[in-house]
Every structure is written in structure tokens, then in C-alpha cells.
A and B are shown apart, each in its own frame.
Chain A
């Protein structure tokens, strides 16, 4: 099998790593401008490889793509018990297009950085920061590309962590400023909180699904679902265990999503992204707009097949809350990068919400377009900040249109893109027009036209039908739907069999028939439609609550408002600070990327991205529990494809797209116009409104304090942790140290006691055995010696006496020796008699 594309993609992952190694080891020797060329060359090679793969992939047929993907090489890395861990390049359309997007955006941001970092890397303390920046950028590219191509959840997690590390390193790039290093720590720690959930999800997946590979996990998951719904349920089955009302499967999906909450800065863990603006602007553009924060959404896309309806609803709720809160906070921001940061948070909320609503294609499409225009907006803001002599406060800007024309108009293109500029009803528009609109269309379907099959049934009956074939077709439809309301047969929903095989073909054919019937029967309602199996699954899902539709609609009005406010206050009107205005200028190295990215936003988004994402959607969303909805209106013939529901093209006004045109189609004009009205003459009108109207003042204060999230986290979590630390420290110092000291004291006492008693006395009461023995023996010897010495008293008289006495005794003994001898003999005999 031909593995060229995999090798190309893998090479593109490894080359930035080599660049990182080179710059890390020899960076300072390579020197200031050339270090950036190394990194630029690495990512440039990556871009070339990505383009090659994409061009080749686009030229392949569906069957060829499926074959190539199924035969991909998997490297058996290790075994976890008897679970093999394999890793390889997951070769499908989503990988290809995501890879291309990441390398493209990264390349132009590298280009921008060369100009930007010229003035920003001071040779401080003899330590040049320039090569360090590009080393970290290369490491980040390696990690992000690895994350994109990873076929195994475990390796995705490895790269996930690496991306978090690079984010920390790059945010805290100016580490000698405390708020920058604090922001880096905050980003990493908040990410880790989310990663805790991710690890729990990974653990559940390896324990119950016994694999990390994404495709196998999805297949096992579907198998467990079907096994559980039958008579014989497997014991180690995710659906057999319940924790506080949720199945373990739901818990696993929610835990895996926790990682995305952390990485993509969703509702409770969104606090790190605005602070991350302390890093250099290219970092904000690359990491916190286009790629790293998109990794969370990418993860949800990859594990879509592992979600249950409850988990999906959780995802949608979190996304909805995020997009609302952060858009409201963005209205009152005065730092240009903070506005863009909150705008990013809000758009990420849209993407996550889209995933939760089932708009798989739309959410990823929004991710791609957002990457382009948000990174372009960040680069524009970087240009503005650079040009205005490091001024970031928009209250001090104004009237920069004449001084920085390229920046001004590319920023405006970005504002239009994010606002969803487009002429309703046609295909003329910029990125947000297509992607956000599609998400909202799917949300509309999920809220008002749900569940689809029941509606189709009732609607069909309401039509007047006269001809035979239609009635028989309707009967056939009903009979084909009815048995499928029960849990679907495994064959029909197996992900491996549905795409590109005769089973899939027949299902699609059936779906076509049913879909077309459905469409004809319900053509006037434009409902979502699909294969009978998918419709039956959809009928088990709850409709979304109304507020989850209306909030994104409201924010669709708010988004253009705050973006236009930002643009107008920065570029239009009269300059509010003359000094800043005088200094403003543009640099060619920095506005070439802006032009390229704006061209991307204008032209490439719809016709290049969406088809590839749509192609990947078929396999990636084939779940037995939830459905993805293709929000794009198709004609009847295209409808009812494989694994997703499709919104059909309806001629009447009740199609979701038509409804949306009425609800939010002109949101961009209204939002931008409102902003122009209020901020036309600068901030005076807004200020007077704020001072005069109490609700506005209170709301403004709350939003300015970022809805008190940071305060609450600081006081509850940080202070709480510190309090626990104080308690534990006291315990350590008093109890544990006390125990240790007590042991020491005890040892010392025992030693001293035994020493004194057994060896050597110090005080009066001590015994001192050994010393007493030694001294005693010595004393005895001394006494014996003195006693023995006593005869020798030095006196002659005594010596004479002893001599004479001894002589006398000897004389007597000799004289009476016989008698002595016989007497001794007699004594001896008597002793023997007495003894014997």
C-alpha cells in the first residue's frame, strides 16, 4: 500500500522538531535574523508537504481515500497489560485540511514574527530572546501537527500536553515581567485542571473500550451500546454502570470534553485566555486564535462517536454559556488584544455549541474560517501596537486609518468576516456568514423541528394524497421506519461497513428513497432528513431548549457590535492621543501576511475547506447514539446521505435557512450600525450613557470585572489552597517534626543513659559498669601491690631481722627434718583415712 502521504505528513511533523533542536542548541550562535529563517524554513517545508498531500487528496475518489485511510500504517508502540498501544497517522480529509490550515497560518505568522520580533527581542543580560522565540514556535508547530495527525487518543494527549507546555513557554516569553510569567502559569494550571478530566476519560476508555485508537474505540463503543440494549449485556460495558444517574459512557464523554473545556477555554476554565494576551502578539495569533484553542474543538470532533446524548447536551450547554458570557464581557474591553481575546472565546463557544447541537461540519468549518480571520485580526492588532509605540489601549487611539491603511482595511475585512457579512439568500459572503449561519440553522432544527421522523409522519398524513404509488411508497416508508425505531441492527450502523461498501450503498439507497419520499412529503417544512436508522436515533434525542437557540442569536447581534466598536475607535474618527497618532506607521514585513490571510478569508474558506470537512464527516460522525446534522441545505437528490441528517432545501419560508434570514440575517448590519451610532464621535456618548443610566453602569462594572470570575477563583480556590497549605504546614512542623525530634531525643536519652550506667559515670548517681570493673581490677592490683610492698620498708633493722629469722627457720628445719617428715606422713595418712 502506498504510504507516501503518511510519510509526508509525518515528516512535516518532525521537521519543526528538528528546527527546535537546532535552535535550542545552536540558536545563540546562529544569531538574530538567521534563527528565524531556520524556523521559517521548517514550517515552509511543512506547508509544502501539506499542499502536496492536499492536492493529491483532492484528486482522489472516495473509494480510493477510504482504502488509503483503512490501510494506514500503525506502529505498535507498547503494551498496556495485554492492550496494544498503536500509533500512526490518521489519514482522512479532516486531517488533511486541518494540517494544511495549521501550516498555512503558522507559516504566515512566522513571517510576521520576523518583523515583529526585531523590535521586541532585547539583548537583555546578554541573553538574546530572539532565537528562543523561534525555537518555541517550532516546538509548538511540532506539537500541534502531531496532535492533528495522531490516530491514537493517548498520543493525542501527549501532544495536547506539549501544546500546553509551548503555550506556557510562549505566554511567559517576557518572563522578567511578573504579569507575563503569572499569565503563563495561570494558563498552564487552568489547562491542567481540564486535563485531569481528560485523563479520567482516557482511563475510562482504556479500561472499558480496551483501546486508545480512535476508530477501534468508536467501534467498541457502538458494540457495547448494542450489546447493552439486547438481552445479554456484557459485564464490562460502559452502559451497564451508572454514576449518579448517568451511564459511565456519558461520564466518559463528559470527561473527555473536560480536556476541551480547559484547552479551548470554555465556561468555567475560560479565565486563562485573556491573561494569555501578555505574550507577544504572534503568539496570541497562532496559539490563542487559530490552533491551540481549536485543539479542543478538534478533540470533540474526533471523539464525536464516543458521545452519548447527555454528553452532547452537556457540550452544547457549556458552549452556549461560554459564547454568551464572553461576548458580553467583550463589549466593555478597552485593550485591543483583550477585545480579540474575548471575541475568540465567544467564537470558540460557538464552535463547541455547534458540536453539541450536532453541527459537526459547521463547527469545524467555523474553526477553519475563524483561524484565518482571527489570526489576521491579531496580526493587525500587533501591527497597530507596534506602530503606536506599544500602546494597546483603544481609548488612546483613533484616526489611524490614514496612517496605517493596509492594516485598517484588512482589520475591517476581519470584522466583516466575524460579523457574518453576507447578502442573505445568496452565496456571497465572508467566512462567518457561512459557518455561523450553518451552526444557527442546525440549532434551529434541533430546537423547533425536532424530532424529525415524527414530524415527517404527521406532516405526511396532513397532505392530501391521491396517487397509488405514493400511498404504497408511504406504506413502504412507514414499514421501513417502524422496525428501525427499535435499536438498530449492528450491521447497518457499524462505522466500518457503512461507508463505501454495499451495505452502506444500500443504506444510502434506502435513505435516498426514504429521504426523497420524506422530502416530497415534507418538502414544505424543510426538516432534517436522512436514513431511517439515523432518523430513529434522532427520534430518541431531546429537542434543545429554546434559550439555547435564542442566546446564540442574541450574540450574533452582539458580536458585530463590539468588533465594530473596536475597529471604529482604533481606526476611524479623530485621534484621541496626538503623540500616539504621530508615531503610527506600518512595516512591510508585517502587512504582507495580513494581505495573504485576508485573501484567504475572502476566497478560500467556502470552496476549499467545507467540501473536505464534509467528506470526513461521514466516517467521523457515524454514531449509534447521536446524530450529526449537515446544516447546509441540499437538494432532494443529495439529501439522505450516509451517516448524517441533512437539512433539505425547501422552497418555502419555513426552511431553517429562511427562518434564520429573518431572525439573524441582517445582524451584521444592525450590530455594526449600532456601534457606529454610539461610538461615532468617540467614547463620549458611551461614557455619558454609563454615568447616567444606573443599570448600564452596574452592568458595565460587572463586565469590566470580567463577571468576577477571577475574584471568585482567587478567593475560593487560591486562598482555599493556601489555607489548606497553612494547615498542612502547621501539621508538618508540629506533628511530624515533633515526632522526628522526639525520636531523636529518645535516642539521645537512651544512648546517654546506657553510656552512663554501663560504661562511664558522669554524675553522682551513675553506676558505670565497665568503668567500675576496670577500676576495681586496677584497685585490687594496686592494693595487692601495696600490701606486697610493705615488707620492703627501707630499714636495715627489718631486713636483718628477716634474714636472721629465715636462717633460723631453715636451720631448724634441717635439724629436725626426720621428725617433720614423719609428722607430715602421719597427717597425710589421717587425711586419706578421713577422706576415703
Chain B
């Protein structure tokens, strides 16, 4: 049977990817792993935005915003790498559990 792909399918896909991204942020000890999670979350948001824009006639707002988001994701990834570089310089590891000096 051929499944008719509608909006919901894209939204569910976005939600799944989003939660996978959150899960990845929650569980990864590696700093780069957290960044991967962040990318997943952002890309899920992108999918969400583009899906809404595809199933709305005449508007391309969602696609424009998706391009902004990609841009911002790249900038943010660069900044995050810079932070992690500093982190590595002080702690000599990228295990983020080691960075708990600001505990209570």
C-alpha cells in the first residue's frame, strides 16, 4: 500500500529527531557528542519549519528561516568549538563531567 505522506509525518519525524537530539545531549559525555546532539535538535527544527512552509501555499517563510537557522547553527558550532578548545586547554580532557567546578 502506498502511504500518503502528509504534514504529520514530517512533524513526527521532526519530533523524533528532536528527542533523539535531546537524548544525545543528555547522555553523551564527549563534548563533540553534545554538539552533535545540538545539531540534531537544530536540524529537527529546520525540518519542522520547512514542512510547515511546504504545506502552506504561496509562502516560503519557513524555508527562509531554515536558512537562518543553518547559518546560526554553523556560527554557534564554531563558538562551541572555541569554548571546548578552552575547556580542553584547562582540563586536558573533553569529558564534560569533569567540568563540574561550578557545583553547589
Q: Which positions in A face B, CB cutoff 8 Å?
A: 789-797, 800-801, 804
B99 touching A797, Cβ below 8 Å: no
Given contacts A790-B104, A791-B104, A793-B100, 12 further A-B contacts (CB under 8 A): A789-B103, A794-B100, A794-B101, A795-B96, A795-B99, A795-B100, A796-B96, A797-B25, A797-B26, A800-B22, A804-B25, A804-B26
Cα separation A793 to B22 with both chains bound (whole Å): 19
Q: Known: A797-B96, A797-B97. Contact between A792 and B26, CB under 8 A?
A: no
Q: Chain A residues near B28 (CB, 8 Å)?
A: 797
Cα separation A789 to B102 with both chains bound (whole Å): 11
B103 touching A797, Cβ below 8 Å: no
**B54 lies within 8 A of chain A by Cβ:** no
B25 touching A793, Cβ below 8 Å: no
Cα separation A800 to B97 with both chains bound (whole Å): 13
**B89 lies within 8 A of chain A by Cβ:** no
Cα separation A793 to B103 with both chains bound (whole Å): 4
For window 58-104 of B, CB contacts with A under 8 Å fall at: 96-97, 99-104
Q: Chain B residues near A792 (CB, 8 Å)?
A: 102-104
Interface size in chain B (residues, C-beta < 8 A): 15
Cα separation A800 to B26 with both chains bound (whole Å): 6
> Which of chain B's residues has its CB closest to A798's CB?
B26
Max chain B Cβ within 10 angstroms of own Cβ: one of A793, A794, A801: A794
Q: Chain B residues near A794 (CB, 8 Å)?
A: 99-104
Cα separation A123 to B71 with both chains bound (whole Å): 123
B96 touching A804, Cβ below 8 Å: no
Cα separation A800 to B35 with both chains bound (whole Å): 13
Q: Known: A795-B96, A795-B97. Contact between A800 and B104, CB under 8 A?
A: no
A804 touching B22, Cβ below 8 Å: yes
Q: Chain A residues near B102 (CB, 8 Å)?
A: 792, 794
Choose one: B26, B34, B104; the contact of A789 (CB below 8 Å).
B104
- Interface residues as binary, B17-34 with A (CB distance below 8 Å gives 1, 0 otherwise): 000001001111100001
Give the shortest distance, in Å, between A182 (CB) and chain B (any CB).
Answer: 92
Q: Please, could you name 30 A-B residue pairs with CB atoms under 8 Å apart, sorted by A?
A: A789-B103, A789-B104, A790-B104, A791-B104, A792-B102, A792-B103, A792-B104, A793-B100, A793-B103, A794-B99, A794-B100, A794-B102, A794-B103, A794-B104, A795-B96, A795-B97, A795-B99, A795-B100, A795-B103, A796-B99, A797-B25, A797-B26, A797-B27, A797-B34, A797-B97, A800-B22, A800-B25, A800-B26, A801-B26, A804-B25
Q: Chain B residues near A796 (CB, 8 Å)?
A: 34, 96, 99
> Which of chain A's residues has its CB closest to B97's CB?
A795
Give the shortest distance, in Å, between A808 (CB) and chain B (any CB).
Answer: 9
Q: Chain B residues near A804 (CB, 8 Å)?
A: 22, 25-26
Give the shortest distance, in Å, between B23 (CB) and chain A (any CB).
Answer: 9
Q: Chain A residues near B96 (CB, 8 Å)?
A: 795-797
Q: Chain A residues near B99 (CB, 8 Å)?
A: 794-796
Give the shortest distance, in Å, between A581 (CB) and chain B (any CB).
Answer: 119
Cα separation A801 to B99 with both chains bound (whole Å): 16
Max chain B Cβ within 10 angstroms of own Cβ: one of A790, A800, A801: A800
Give the shortest distance, in Å, between A644 (CB) and chain B (any CB).
Answer: 123
Give the shortest distance, in Å, between B101 (CB) and chain A (any CB).
Answer: 6
Q: Chain B residues near A791 (CB, 8 Å)?
A: 104
Q: Chain B residues near A793 (CB, 8 Å)?
A: 100, 103-104
Cα separation A804 to B25 with both chains bound (whole Å): 10
Cα separation A826 to B61 with both chains bound (whole Å): 45
Cα separation A796 to B28 with both chains bound (whole Å): 10
Cα separation A664 to B63 with both chains bound (whole Å): 170
Cα separation A789 to B97 with both chains bound (whole Å): 17
Max chain A Cβ within 10 angstroms of own Cβ: one of B25, B26, B27, B103: B26
Cα separation A110 to B101 with both chains bound (whole Å): 110
- Interface residues as binary, B23-50 with A (CB distance below 8 Å gives 1, 0 otherwise): 0011111000010000000000000000
Q: Chain A residues near B97 (CB, 8 Å)?
A: 795, 797
Cα separation A789 to B100 with both chains bound (whole Å): 13
A797 touching B29, Cβ below 8 Å: yes
Give the shortest distance, in Å, between B62 (CB) and chain A (any CB).
Answer: 21
Q: Chain B residues near A790 (CB, 8 Å)?
A: 104
Cα separation A542 to B100 with both chains bound (whole Å): 128
Q: Chain B residues near A797 (CB, 8 Å)?
A: 25-29, 34, 96-97
Cα separation A791 to B104 with both chains bound (whole Å): 8
Q: Chain A residues near B100 (CB, 8 Å)?
A: 793-795
Q: Top 3 closest A-B pairs, CB basis? A: A794-B100, A794-B103, A789-B104
Cα separation A789 to B104 with both chains bound (whole Å): 5
Cα separation A793 to B98 with both chains bound (whole Å): 11
> Which of chain A's residues has its CB closest to B96's CB?
A796
Cα separation A231 to B51 with both chains bound (whole Å): 151
Give the shortest distance, in Å, between B2 (CB) and chain A (any CB).
Answer: 32
Cα separation A795 to B29 with both chains bound (whole Å): 10
Q: Chain A residues near B34 (CB, 8 Å)?
A: 796-797
Cα separation A305 to B76 with both chains bound (whole Å): 137
Q: Chain B residues near A795 (CB, 8 Å)?
A: 96-97, 99-100, 103
Cα separation A584 to B28 with both chains bound (whole Å): 136
Give the shortest distance, in Å, between B32 (CB) and chain A (any CB).
Answer: 13
Q: Chain A residues near B25 (CB, 8 Å)?
A: 797, 800, 804
> Which of chain A's residues has its CB closest to B102's CB?
A794
Cα separation A792 to B103 with both chains bound (whole Å): 5
> Which of chain B's residues has its CB closest to A788's CB?
B104
Cα separation A792 to B102 with both chains bound (whole Å): 8
Cα separation A27 to B29 with both chains bound (whole Å): 112
Give the shortest distance, in Å, between A825 (CB) and chain B (any CB).
Answer: 31
> Which of chain B's residues has its CB closest to A786's CB?
B104
> Which of chain B's residues has its CB closest to A794's CB?
B100
Cα separation A795 to B104 with both chains bound (whole Å): 11
Cα separation A455 to B32 with both chains bound (whole Å): 159
Give the shortest distance, in Å, between A561 (CB) and chain B (any CB).
Answer: 123
Cα separation A791 to B102 with both chains bound (whole Å): 12
Give the shortest distance, in Å, between A454 (CB) and chain B (any CB).
Answer: 131
> Which of chain A's residues has its CB closest to B29's CB?
A797
Give the shortest distance, in Å, between A458 (CB) and chain B (any CB).
Answer: 137
Give the shortest distance, in Å, between B86 (CB) and chain A (any CB).
Answer: 15
Cα separation A797 to B28 with both chains bound (whole Å): 8
Cα separation A793 to B104 with both chains bound (whole Å): 6
Give the shortest distance, in Å, between A217 (CB) and chain B (any CB).
Answer: 105
Q: Chain A residues near B104 (CB, 8 Å)?
A: 789-794
Max chain A Cβ within 10 angstroms of own Cβ: one of B96, B97, B104: B104
Give the shortest distance, in Å, between B87 (CB) and chain A (any CB).
Answer: 11
Cα separation A795 to B101 with both chains bound (whole Å): 9
Give the shortest distance, in Å, between B7 (CB) and chain A (any CB).
Answer: 18
Give the shortest distance, in Å, between B95 (CB) and chain A (any CB).
Answer: 10
Give the shortest distance, in Å, between A626 (CB) and chain B (any CB).
Answer: 116
> Which of chain B's residues has its CB closest to A804's CB?
B22
Give the shortest distance, in Å, between B66 (CB) and chain A (any CB).
Answer: 22
Cα separation A801 to B27 with both chains bound (whole Å): 9
Give the shortest distance, in Å, between A338 (CB) and chain B (any CB).
Answer: 108
Q: Chain A residues near B101 (CB, 8 Å)?
A: 794
Give the shortest distance, in Å, between A794 (CB) and chain B (any CB).
Answer: 3
Q: Chain A residues near B103 (CB, 8 Å)?
A: 789, 792-795
Max chain A Cβ within 10 angstroms of own Cβ: one of B25, B27, B28, B34: B25
Give the shortest distance, in Å, between A788 (CB) and chain B (any CB).
Answer: 8
> Which of chain B's residues has its CB closest to A801's CB?
B26
Cα separation A796 to B25 with both chains bound (whole Å): 9
Give the shortest distance, in Å, between A264 (CB) and chain B (any CB).
Answer: 106
Cα separation A801 to B25 with both chains bound (whole Å): 8
Cα separation A679 to B99 with both chains bound (whole Å): 132
> Which of chain A's residues has its CB closest to B37's CB?
A800
> Which of chain A's residues has its CB closest to B23's CB?
A804
Cα separation A526 to B22 with both chains bound (whole Å): 159
Give the shortest distance, in Å, between A35 (CB) and chain B (any CB).
Answer: 99
> Which of chain A's residues has its CB closest to B24's CB?
A800
Cα separation A792 to B100 with both chains bound (whole Å): 9
> Which of chain A's residues has its CB closest to B103's CB?
A794
Q: Chain A residues near B27 (CB, 8 Å)?
A: 797
Cα separation A326 to B89 with both chains bound (whole Å): 125
> Which of chain B's residues has its CB closest to A789's CB?
B104
Q: Chain B residues near A800 (CB, 8 Å)?
A: 22, 25-26
> Which of chain A's residues has its CB closest to B26's CB?
A801
